[in-house]
Copies of this chain bind each other. A is one copy, B any other.
Amino acid sequence: MTAQRERIFSALHGASDHPTAEAVWSEVRTDMSSISLRTVYQTLNDLVGMGELAQLDIGPGPARFDPMNVPHHHVVCDACGRIADLTVEFPSVGLPDELAGDFDVVSTEIIFRASGCGVCRGAEG
């Protein structure tokens, strides 16, 4: 673990808004002005590979990164882009028998999509 990696890791854990690679870069550069966006991408990918982070691909735009302490789901506001975590488990959700033998399911992601949220509504009115 190099200084860059530690700094990127801490930036992720300090942010609760599922930042993009660019947002992480921007945050890290306040301390390490010479770090390249390429290194941030590289490191984020490595951390995802190690299972330290989760990468969220929810719709168009850049990928977002999540510190992933525990498995959880997400609520996405399509109006403002806000993403909230949801640590509730849904034990009833599983593949029906006719597909369970066909696929080796390793994880289940649930995304609730919203047309608006408290933040949006507050900003408008």
Most buried by B among A60, A86, A107, A112: A112
Q: A57-B60, A105-B112, A111-B109 are in contact. Are A90 and B93 (CB under 8 A)?
A: yes
Q: Check A117–B88 contact: CB distance below 8 A.
A: no
Which among B58, B63, B114 is the interface contact of A105 at CB below 8 angstroms? B114
Q: A103-B114, A104-B116 are in contact. Are A92 and B95 (CB under 8 A)?
A: no
Q: Which of A38-79 contact B (CB under 8 A)?
A: 57-60, 63, 75, 77-78
Q: Check B111–A95 contact: CB distance below 8 A.
A: no
Oligomer copy total: 2
Q: Check A117–B102 contact: CB distance below 8 A.
A: yes
Q: Check A112–B116 contact: CB distance below 8 A.
A: no
Q: Check A114–B109 contact: CB distance below 8 A.
A: no
Which residues of chain B are near A116, meaning CB under 8 Å?
Answer: 103-104
Q: Which of A87-125 contact B (CB under 8 A)?
A: 88, 90, 92-93, 95-96, 99, 101-118
Cα-based distance from A69 to B99 in the complex (angstroms): 20
Most buried by B among A75, A88, A102: A102
A84 interface residue (CB < 8 Å to B): yes
